[in-house]
Chains A and B, each alone.
Chain A
């Protein structure tokens, strides 16, 4: 089973993407598995709409740990994993740093890395080299199993060349970028096609 891992800064829409992708694939309820940074785990069945209300937050760090759903992506079962939002600097409190460490270390289990960027905060200036998105795209951007998802395109001007902007800002090939909206499910077919096209 492919392990598809959603990573990115806090509040970029990882959790909403997890839940709405499950919905897009025809689920109404889901079995959501959690694991906190100490390794304690549990699973719970949710109605997707209820889960959204519980788990997607306006404030950053609504997710502290790993949470995943197994689902049928058409021609295969996949495991879609939502993670703790990462930022480049050390943050308070310790529990949050620990959760970030858990996510960083979990990356190695990814058969596919889905790196989410917020379309509304695409930089116009070059970012510092220790920006987490710069680091992630620099290290993984060349790998076959990496894709960049620019999320929240419902919020930006259609005329904007989001794809080009993203490719330039993070120096990744534009065929490695998919523009999506976790909210209105734009671009979801592209994500699923990408997942199914990946071997391994």
Chain B
């Protein structure tokens, strides 16, 4: 608990200095009654919660996270009162298309679980098949252990987890899964593993590996964003970077996303496509301004229709 407190305390003190929180709040966060027990950091929890709520859409996920939080809270309280309590297995399955917010939510969960005193560090390590599967006997186990070690105290996020079992008999994917399960057992209190990927593939993968089901009791399904949500995500991304979309630029974005949604594989795109369009637009705007004579402050902010264009995912 000591280190956790010290880390957080520094952050809280900086916030007091920058007038982001009041002395009263700081005292409550550092010395408040939750704090007396397990290194719970209400400030960090509140921040993660705020960030989660600020995400566009994802209503079912927000609700699930709230339920998870309530569950953890009550188990912790029961433990404190010396009552029977769950060991709490927090490994999860995230199902959904790319760019639907899985990684974003995983990172926020890391922060939240750290704030709740359940993870020592709360960082997220993102890996995929190539990071886990080796080329010769023994290599795979070694690679898995290495990644687990990096993720200790935080979240191990395995993208496209089913690709671990895609090879045939001679594939080392199975060894990866077995080692992972063993490592999860050995580091029960210091690691949360999240298996992520397309819904159908994940469902199939879990059916093929029934042993995993009980080890990953929490399932979250990330739905595709609606067109409206995607445009609001774009607005948010521009806003965060201190840019602003002109109405006709927004219209163009809308039409462009609508086109993509109708004629492209639904499984592509989503927020990741939006992010690429946003980043591309920012580069386009720079090039456009660079050619221009004098540049006003307004010019620096505004994203015009011509800055918005199609990009690859």
> Which residues of A are interface residues toward B (Cβ below 8 A)?
86-90, 94, 97-98, 100-102, 104-105, 107-108, 130-132, 135-136, 139-140
List, in ascending order, chain A residues with CB within 8 A of B21's CB: 90
Q: Report B-chain residues with C-beta under 8 Å of the C-beta of A136.
A: 27
* Contact yes or no, A88 B24, CB < 8 A: yes
| Complex Cα spacing A104 to B27, Å | 7
Residues from chain B with Cβ under 8 Å of A105 in the complex: 9, 13, 30
B18 to chain A, nearest CB (A): 8
Q: Mark B1-30, 1 if CB is under 8 A from A, else 0.
A: 000000001000100111101111111101
Given contacts A107-B31, A108-B30, A139-B33, contact A130 B24 (CB under 8 A): yes
Nearest residue in B to A87 (C-beta to C-beta)? B23
Q: Which of B17, B24, B25 contacts A131 (CB under 8 A)?
A: B24
**Are A130 and B22 neighbours in the complex by a CB distance under 8 Å?**
yes
A156 CB to closest chain B CB, in angstroms? Answer: 26
Q: Are A88 and B31 in contact (CB under 8 A)?
A: no
A107: min CB distance to chain B, Å: 7
Candidates A102, A107, A108, A132; contact of B24 at CB < 8 Å: A132
Q: What are 18 contact pairs spanning A and B, CB under 8 A?
A: A89-B23, A94-B17, A97-B18, A97-B19, A98-B16, A100-B16, A101-B13, A101-B17, A101-B26, A105-B9, A105-B13, A105-B30, A107-B31, A108-B31, A130-B22, A132-B23, A135-B27, A135-B28
Q: Is B32 an interface residue (CB 8 A)?
A: yes
* 8 Å CB contact of B31 from A98, A101, A132, A140: A140
Residues of B within 8 A of A108 (CB): 30-31
> Which range contains the number of B residues in contact with the other chain?
10 to 19
Q: In the complex, are the beta carbons of A104 and B30 less than 8 A apart?
A: yes
Q: Is the CB of B22 within 8 A of A88?
A: yes
Q: How far is the CB of A172 from chain B (nearest CB, A)?
A: 15
Q: What B residues does A98 contact at CB under 8 A?
A: 16-17
A104 and B28 contacting across the interface, CB-CB below 8 Å: no
Closest residue of B by beta carbon distance from A37 = B17
Report whether A139 and B31 are in contact in the complex, using a CB–CB cutoff of 8 Å.
Answer: yes
Can you name 18 extra interface pairs (CB under 8 A) apart from A97-B16, A101-B13, A139-B33?
A: A87-B23, A88-B24, A89-B22, A90-B19, A94-B19, A97-B17, A97-B19, A100-B16, A100-B23, A101-B26, A105-B9, A130-B22, A132-B23, A132-B27, A135-B24, A139-B27, A139-B28, A139-B32
Cα–Cα, bound, A97→B19 (Å) = 7
Min CB gap A15→B, angstroms: 19
- Chain B residues in 8 Å Cβ range of A104: 13, 16, 23, 26-27, 30
* Complexed CA–CA distance, A79 and B23 (Å): 24
Chain A, residue nearest B33 (CB): A139
Give the CA-CA distance A90 to B109 in the complex, in Å. 30
Residue in chain B with minimal CB distance to A103: B23
- Of chain A, the residue at the smallest CB distance from B19 is A90
The residues of A that contact B32 with a CB separation of less than 8 Å are 139
Q: How far is the CA of A139 from the CA of B28 in the complex (A)?
A: 7
In the assembled complex, the CB of B94 is this many whole angstroms from the nearest CB of chain A, namely: 38
Is the pair B23, A86 in contact by a Cβ cutoff of 8 Å?
yes
Residue of A nearest to B28 (CB): A135
A97 CA / B24 CA spacing, docked (Å): 12
Residue of chain B at shortest CB distance from A140: B31
- The interface residues of chain A lying within 8 Å CB-to-CB of B33 are 139
Nearest CB to that of B9 among chain A residues?
A: A105
Top 8 A-B residue pairs of the complex, sorted by shortest distance between their CB atoms: A90-B19, A101-B16, A88-B24, A101-B13, A130-B24, A135-B24, A98-B17, A100-B23
Q: Which residues 20-68 of B have a CB within 8 angstroms of A?
A: 21-28, 30-33
A88-B28 in contact (CB<8A)? no
Q: Is the CB of B25 within 8 A of A130?
A: yes
| Least CB distance, B129 to chain A, in whole angstroms | 46
Q: A38 to chain B: closest CB distance in Å?
A: 11
**Once bound together, how far apart are the Cα atoms of A94 and B17, in whole Å?**
6
- Expressed in whole angstroms, the minimum distance between the Cβ of A111 and any Cβ of chain B is 15
What residues of B have a CB within 8 angstroms of the CB of A90 in the complex?
Answer: 16, 19, 21-23
